[in-house]
Structure 1
Amino acid sequence: ITMFEKEPRLFDQYHEGFREQVKGWPQNPVDLMAKIIGKNPKWVVADMGCGDAKLAEAVPNKVHSFDLVAVNEKVVACDIAKVPLGHGEVDAVVFSLALMGTNYGDFV
């Protein structure tokens, strides 16, 4: 977290590299999650490590989007181990490639 706060460009570089890598995958995990979640439009969803909040854009659901840096108005910047939600406020949580932090045990 501190590293990205000190040098936000590193966050941008990481996500640019991620977008390039996904182009070579048979399926983007965000697209798969959007299909599942979109079939359940009443679900309230928390997207942990959301990047640029593509999931929130792709579904009609209420999606709380969290990441270390808020790259747009849909994203809340925070450590996903400490999101500003209470117990039972969401029906589903997405950790699409988000369990890479050093405190990943605190996320779940």
Structure 2
Amino acid sequence: MVGRGELERAVVDVLWDTAGPMTARAVTEALVGRDLAVTTVLTVLSRLESKGVVRRARDGRAHTYEAVSGREEHTADLMRQVLDTAGDRDDALARFVGSVTPEDIEALRRALGER
């Protein structure tokens, strides 16, 4: 059985990779290689909606779903949430910087230079 987190990730990846809102049926069909019922995907979409990751809109008799934010914005939000839990932000940031690749360090320098 697929883990809840893995299935949520697969569903939101489909939404991120698709331009525009999708029905649950379209999301199910896009999950290639997975034998899932539409009701299962609806449950996952509902969970993601309650977490604020996707939004739902009525489209005729059906609902459509789309990601609230893009992949990169969502990742940055998660990073901020984790940083907010740190007792010592300076130490947490220093440990993070000490664990990333030289390419990531350069990307951080560029990002800081643009601010």
Name the structure where strand makes up a greater proportion of residues. 1
TM-score normalised to structure 1 length: 0.25
Q: TM-score, normalised by structure 2?
A: 0.24
Q: Write 1 or 2 for the structure with the bigger share of helix.
A: 2
